[in-house]
Amino acid sequence: MPGTYIRLNYFPPIFAALLVVFSSTLNAESKWLELCDDCHGPNGNSLHDSIPTIAALSKNYFVESMNSFKRGERVTRIHKRPGAMDTDMTMVVSMLSDYEIIELAKWYSSQIRDSKAQSFDSEKAKTGRRLHMKYCEICHEDSGRSIEDDIGILPGQQKEYLRLSLQDIASGQRISSKKMKKTLNRMERKYGSDAFDHLLHYYASLIK
Ligand code: HEC
Ligand code: HEC
């Protein structure tokens, strides 16, 4: 069911143990980690199709994303979690100080990315690769892996999350780089809306 989150019913002891080990290096952000990981998955590696993996994002991109939620420039969607209050990122960021956001960015940017294999169609992935090289590689270098320019990571990112992000950016509902919006609109005019789908298959195909 879209928008519904299946809660992890237990907090694996190994994570609890790791938290204790790392607590000396964790400061303001530590009290939030359980809440974040409840949606974003263990150490920020998502297990839910429409929730992004946030492990290993660039620190600046992380902070900028959190601030754009604060400014209301990014679309957010409520995720229902059984036994917990319905929450979205707007509510989450409203509870965090600037200092905590920076500490959380440091923590998640240093986590290892553990992308799960997702299904893909090889023909669509091939077309997606051509589209990526033509329209996206100029900014999303190394097939979208590079975080050098403080942008998100595309290979292995959750497919449904990517699909929603592309739609939101193309429609202007998510305020983004003007050039990127123009690029998406140009690509859509030329190749139709299937182009997005092909790109998603390509990014999924990069994780085996
Ligand atoms: C109720 C579920 C939920 C909780 C709790 C939650 N998030 Fe999110 N987060 C999301 C969703 C879903 C998105 C994608 C935007 C949307 O659809 O709202 C997102 C997006 C993000 C992004 C942007 C990622 C990108 O690639 O642009 C960051 C960063 C983030 N969350 C960090 C956090 C942190 C840090 C916490 C804990 C303080 C947290 N989130 C708690 C659901 C959650
Ligand atoms: C002119 C540079 C530029 C081009 C071209 C560009 N992008 Fe982006 N893209 C960005 C920047 C900068 C961001 C991050 C900040 C933002 O949201 O504006 C971004 C963000 C994204 C995001 C959101 C990532 C996340 O984690 O939420 C996706 C998805 C994305 N781009 C896909 C693409 C695809 C697919 C193409 C090619 C069709 C493309 N971009 C072309 C600059 C670009």
Q: Which domains does the chain have, with CATH numbers?
A: 13-109 (1.10.760.10), 122-205 (1.10.760.10)
- The three-state secondary structure class of 193 is coil
| Lowest mean pLDDT across 11-15, 32-36, 73-77, 183-187 | 11-15
Contact yes or no for 160/50 (Cβ under 8 A): yes
Asked if residue 11 has pLDDT above 50, the reply is: no
What does the pLDDT read at residue 21?
46
- Residue 98 is encoded by which pair of tokens? 């600037």
- Between the CA of 36 and the centroid of ligand 1 the distance, in Å, is 7
Write down the pLDDT at residue 26.
Answer: 55
Q: In ligand 1, which atom is closest to the CA atom of 66?
A: 29
Which H or E run includes 27? none
Mutate to test the pocket of ligand 1, among 39, 62, 94 (most ligand atoms within 8 A of CB): 39
Residues 109, 111: Cα–Cα separation, whole Å: 6
Ligand 2: does its nearest atom lie under 6 Å from the Cβ of 165? yes
Q: Is the pLDDT of residue 2 over 50?
A: no
CA atoms within 13 A on the CB side of 188: 14
Query: 58-62, 73-77, 182-186, 202-206: which range is least confident on average?
Result: 73-77
5: region left, alpha or beta (phi > 0 left; psi from -120 to 50 alpha): beta
CB distance 90 to 79 below 8 Å: no
Provide the whole-model pTM: 0.89
- Residues comprising the chain, all counted: 208
Q: Where are the beta strands (DSSP E) in the chain?
A: none
pLDDT at 196: 97
Residue 16 pLDDT: 52
Q: Across residues 119-139, what is the average pLDDT?
A: 98
* Residue 200 near residue 163 (C-beta atoms within 8 A): yes
Nearest alpha carbon, ligand 2 atom 6: 180
What rounded mean pLDDT belongs to the chain?
Answer: 88
Q: Which of 54-58, 76-80, 140-144 has the lowest mean pLDDT?
A: 76-80
Query: Considering every ligand atom, which ligand is closest to the CA of 75?
Result: 1
pLDDT band per the 50, 70, 90 thresholds, residue 81: confident
Task: Check pocket membership of 160 for ligand 1, CB cut-off 6 A.
Answer: no
| Nearest Cα residue to atom 35 of ligand 2 | 136
Checking if the pLDDT of 85 tops 50, the result is yes
pLDDT of 153 reads 97
Beta-bridge mates of residue 80:
4
Q: What is the pLDDT of residue 80?
A: 80
Window from 3-7, 11-15, 30-34, 199-203 with minimum mean pLDDT: 3-7
Ligand nearest to the CA of residue 40, numbered in listed order: 1
13: how many CB neighbours lie within 10 A of its CB?
A: 8
Ligand 1 atom 9, closest CA: 89
Closest ligand to the CA of 176: 2
